[in-house]
Amino acid sequence: MTVSLHLARASNGVIGRDGGLPWHLPADLARFKAQTMGRPMIMGRKTFESFPAPLPGRRHIVLTRDRTWSAAGAEVVHDRDSALALAGDDAAVIGGADIFALFLDLANRIELTEVHATPDGDTIVPPFTGWREIAREDRAVDGDRPAYSFVTLVR
């Protein structure tokens, strides 16, 4: 089974603020789209609710403790094993922090955008230890957008 984590994380570990991203990086969004298109995505309820609508061309497997929650476009599950069973042999885990922590031990790849900034935020993911970097593409500051790097990590 392939389990990959997909996220952008700032230098201080921040991945989110007030239900959204504390930056706008169009190239990161395009990379995310390319990496998740046609794949089942596993996410928490708050991540699903941060989208204006379900993302086209992808399944949305939403892991929540709320047994009464439902939403159009969401395949609702209540535990990790159920999420994996729905995903089949390939899963893109897309957040939030609790979901990344829940799947980290199963992941064999991390597609990370390292945002070279220290924004305020309310959602943090710690650094990934024990992973090996196999690819890096650095991007420079562009106007009000911070520098960032696309990084691929494997076990």
* Cis status of the peptide bond prior to 73, with omega within 30 of 0: no
Q: Mean pLDDT over residues 42-56, rounded?
A: 97
Percent pLDDT > 90 in the chain is 100
Question: Mean pLDDT, to the nearest integer, of 114-143?
Answer: 97
What the chain holds in terms of domains, given with CATH numbers, is: 2-18+37-129 (3.40.430.10)
pTM metric for this prediction: 0.96
Q: For the segment 68-98, what is each residue's pLDDT rounded down to a tens digit?
A: 999 999 999 999 999 999 999 999 999 999 9
How is residue 22 written in tokens?
A: 């504390």
Strands (E), the chain: 2-10, 14-16, 40-44, 59-63, 74-77, 90-95, 109-115, 123-124, 132-139, 148-154
Residue 13 has a pLDDT of 98
* Max intra-chain CA distance, the chain: 45
Mean per-residue pLDDT of the chain: 97
